[in-house]
Amino acid sequence: MSGKTGVTKWPHTPVVVMGFMSRLVGGRWAVALLALTFLLFNPSASTAGGEASHLPCSADHCGLLVDGAYPNLVIGRLEHAGSPADMRQVFHWAKAHGDWKALPDSMAPYLRDVQLVTIEVPKGMTSQPVTLFMLRTEYTAAPYHVGDLVRYAPHDAAHDEAATGTADDLALFHGLTGCVAILCQKGDGACFARYRQGAFTTAQGRQVSLATGQPTAGGPRIDPISLLPLH
């Protein structure tokens, strides 16, 4: 007897994942492999601060309906208040597809001045999230909550005198953003029932197809001022 205690040495097992070689120790390799696979195949886990955009840009144009500011009224449920990652993704998608040519080419004013929101609008038996934009100053001034019933309206370039600032400020004010107002708080069923959700023209309150942007033949109408249905 030498007096030395026996030490079991686990054999080193090479594991190859997506071209990366890791030397993992014995029976622990399965746990390590699981963690490594999660990091490789979960982009949101590997971004700074876990921030990642989940907008449907690859399949649904990031939820955008038009190039620039949407020109119609939208009444629906506030689904999501966008993050800086969402804004970056939509900006790069729009510029890469030839949209937003009249809007700033720098990302900075969008992150500083614009708040992206998605509003869920009924579409047949289901619903469709629509990506819209408002001024960040307006967003931070009101207590918006996911689930509230809101109304989006485009800024009126002919009559709205509130826009001031640089050329970039004015371009974003009139060319991308609109005004989002809270109509009902989340869970207020009686209030929700007063309104008809959807997209409508600003002049006559005629229902508009989200797919074509054209008035729906025989579709319902609302009063564009009170936003209440016209019977």
Residues 6+ apart with CB under 8 A from 172: 103, 104, 109, 110, 113, 114
- Judge if 66 and 35 occupy the same domain: no
Cα separation values, 84 from 30, 91, 99, 110, 230, Å = 36, 10, 19, 9, 39
The verdict on residue 46 lying in a domain is: no
The verdict on residue 32 lying in a domain is: yes
Q: What total of structural domains would you count in the chain?
A: 2
Convert the pLDDT of each residue in 10-64 to its tens digit.
Answer: 333 333 333 333 333 444 444 444 443 433 333 333 333 446 677 878 878 999 9
Amino acid code (one letter) for 163: A
* pLDDT value of position 209: 93
- Judge if 133 and 187 occupy the same domain: yes
Q: What CA–CA distance (Å, rounded) separates 94 from 61?
A: 8
- Judge if 22 and 66 occupy the same domain: no
Q: Do the strands 198-200 and 73-81 form a parallel or antiparallel pair, or are they unpaired?
A: antiparallel
Element containing residue 80 per DSSP (H, E): strand 73-81
The DSSP code sequence of 148-201 is -EEEEEE--TTT-----SSHHHHHHHHHT-EEEEEEE-TT-HHHHTTS--EEE-
**Domain that residue 112 falls in:** 57-230
Q: Which of 123-127, 164-168, 199-203, 210-214 holds the top average pLDDT?
A: 199-203
Predicted TM-score (pTM) of the model is: 0.75
